[in-house]
Amino acid sequence: MKCLNRALALLCLAASPSLVSAQSVDKLVALSAGNTTPLAPIYLAETLGYAKQEGLDYTVKTVFANSLNLVVAGEGDFSVIGISSALVPVREGKETSIVYAISSGLATGFMVATQKVKSIADCTRVSTSRAGSAVFSSTMAYRTTGGGKFTILELGDANQIVPSVLSGGSDCAVSALAVLQPGLDQGLHLLVDPRNPRTVPPNTIQGTYGSGLWGMKDNLQKKRGAVEKLMRALKRVEDYIKKTPVDQVAAEIIKHPDFKTYKPDQIARQVEAEKLFWFPDSGYVKPSAWNGALTYYKYGLPFIDHGNKLYSYESRVDMSYWITAFGQPTVK
């Protein structure tokens, strides 16, 4: 009889609302292309506890250049990388969905050089991220229309871009400002600064989108509720960054294990540099900006065809998660 009572008690416990709720918590895994400050907002959703407070079991893992392939293989829900990379698997029949913009395209177009290099035309070898990234598109744009004749050195870890220049492996580099800042601190100088339009070669950087979140369409649809919770968590991250001193933001970033080797003052300076470019339209990807985005991405991905519906806004961008979380946007 005691055994029967115990069994009934366990059955009741298993059916209790609190336990059922705990067992049904949504889960998302974001695979980041780099533990770098430009992608910090996605880590802050974890370290600040906002995702958890929204009822989401959420983790970020830094996998570098493997981000794209692992998400396509189903090893993670989101690739946190240049939005343009979502267009790469499409050629192989893989259906991807872009759901959020972390930064504007302007963030990806900073170019530094050694002191002997005075113009883009003087660069002989340029270190940058791999093909498919928005950073690579900026690099190709400078070579195509900026007078460059350089060789491109593609690196899978953005943290290696500056060391490759300082070690003599290249004489120029293209990336986000925060990634390049350590090189500027050690004597490199800016050739292209998107904050100063006069330094930017014409028709090379669109005021569109750089990094963001994308995943496999079917998987995200199955996890719609979880994705919407992440949208709300990211909005809280945006509001936090806007009202919080950079040193406090930096302290939260380095709480993540993937940032534990960074110094707080170093991250604080980088946060100050990146704030200008984070959360374009609060992460909403506008239909009106998509054609310009494709023009920008095409520099790095020549196979992109504006007329092919596979690369259309309707096929590749899904703002329904954002709209459900926040309502209809004020921008078009």
Residue 161 lies in a domain: yes
* Per-residue pLDDT at 62 exceeds 70: yes
Is residue 69 included in any domain, yes or no? Answer: yes
When pLDDT is cut at 50, 70 and 90, the band that residue 267 belongs to is very high
**Where does the pLDDT of residue 6 fall: very low under 50, low under 70, confident under 90, or very high at 90 and above?**
very low
Task: Check: CB of residue 160 under 8 Å from CB of residue 147.
Answer: no
Q: What pLDDT, on the 0 to 100 scale, is given for residue 12?
A: 41
Distance, first Cα to last Cα, the chain: 68
Of 140, 173, 199, which one is at a domain's C-terminal end? 199
Residue 100 sits in the same domain as residue 110: no
∠ CA 170-176-182 to the nearest 5 degrees? Answer: 65
Answer yes or no: do 215 and 100 share one domain: yes
Same domain, 99 and 221: yes
Q: Are 26 and 77 in contact (CB under 8 A)?
A: no
Please give the average per-residue pLDDT across 63-75, as a whole number: 96
Residues 110 and 144 both lie in one domain:
yes
Domain that holds residue 84: 25-104+209-326
Residues 215 and 304 in one domain: yes
Whole-angstrom CA distances from 285 to 1, 207, 313, 317 are: 63, 12, 9, 8
Tell me: do 113 and 185 sit in the same domain: yes
Closest CA to 331 of 316, 319, 314, 317: 319
226 and 113 assigned to the same domain: no
Q: Both 149 and 263 in a single domain? A: no
pLDDT value for 25: 54
Any idea what DSSP says for residue 104? B
The reported pLDDT for the residue numbered 4 is: 40
Specify the CATH number for the domain of residue 68.
Answer: 3.40.190.10
Structure confidence at residue 203 (pLDDT): 82
Q: Cα–Cα distance between 161 and 164 in angstroms, integer? A: 5
pLDDT of residue 10: 39
Answer yes or no: is 292 within a domain.
yes
pLDDT tens digit string along 305-314? 999 999 999 9
Percent of all residues in the chain with a pLDDT value above 70, rounded to a whole number: 92
Q: What is the pLDDT of residues 184-222, one digit of tens each?
A: 999 999 999 999 999 999 888 767 899 999 999 999 999
Output the CA angle 116-178-75, nearest 5 degrees.
120
Tell me whether residue 322 is in a domain.
Answer: yes
Same domain, 139 and 177: yes
**What pLDDT shows up at residue 204?**
85
pLDDT at 19: 33
The chain-wide mean pLDDT, for the chain, equals 92
Q: Is residue 110 part of a domain?
A: yes
> Domain for residue 20, yes or no?
no
| Number of domains within the chain | 2
Residues 114-138 pLDDT 10s: 999 999 999 999 999 999 999 999 9
Crossing angle of helices 40-47/224-243, nearest 10°? 100
Q: How confident is the model at residue 15 (pLDDT cuts 50, 70, 90)?
A: very low
Q: How far apart are the C-alpha atoms of 161 and 144, rounded to whole Å?
A: 21
Please compute the mean of the pLDDT values over residues 222-245 and round it to a whole number.
98
DSSP secondary-structure letter at 169?
A: S
At residue 52, φ and ψ (nearest 5 deg) are: -65, -40
Q: 316 and 224 in one domain?
A: yes
pLDDT classification of 172: cutoffs 50, 70, 90: very high
* Total Cβ atoms within 10 A of residue 299: 24
For the chain, what percent of residues have pLDDT higher than 90? 88
pTM (predicted TM-score): 0.90
My answer on whether 310 and 162 are in the same domain is: no
Judge whether 151 lies within some domain: yes
Query: Regarding predicted confidence, which is higher, 20 or 144?
Result: 144
Strand spans (E) along the chain? 26-32, 56-62, 78-82, 96-101, 110-113, 125-129, 151-155, 172-175, 189-192, 211-216
Q: How far apart are CA 290 and CA 12, in angstroms?
A: 53
Q: How far is CA 307 from the centre of its chain?
A: 26
Instruction: Give the closest residue to 217 by CA, choosing from 75, 101, 47, 77.
Output: 77
Distance of alpha carbon 105 from alpha carbon 136, whole angstroms: 12
Residue with tokens 């520099």: 299
Residue 11, pLDDT score:
39
Alpha-carbon distance of 98 to 296, in angstroms, equals 16
Query: How confident is the model over 282-309, as a mean pLDDT?
Result: 95
Report how far residue 3's alpha carbon sits from residue 75's, in angstroms, rounded to the nearest whole number: 42
Average pLDDT over residues 135-143: 95
* Residue 15 located in a structural domain: no
Say if residue 195 is in the same domain as residue 288.
no
Task: Examine the fold and report which residue of 174, 199, 224 is the final residue of a domain before the chain moves on.
Answer: 199
How many Å apart are CA 179 and CA 38, to the nearest integer? 8
Which structure tokens are listed for 239?
């509001």
Last residue of a domain, one of 199, 232, 249: 199
Mean pLDDT of 41-66: 97
Q: What is the mean pLDDT of residues 60-69?
A: 96
**Residue 3 pLDDT more than 60?**
no
Structure tokens at 12: 């009741």
Q: Count other Cβ atoms within 10 Å, centred on residue 332.
A: 8
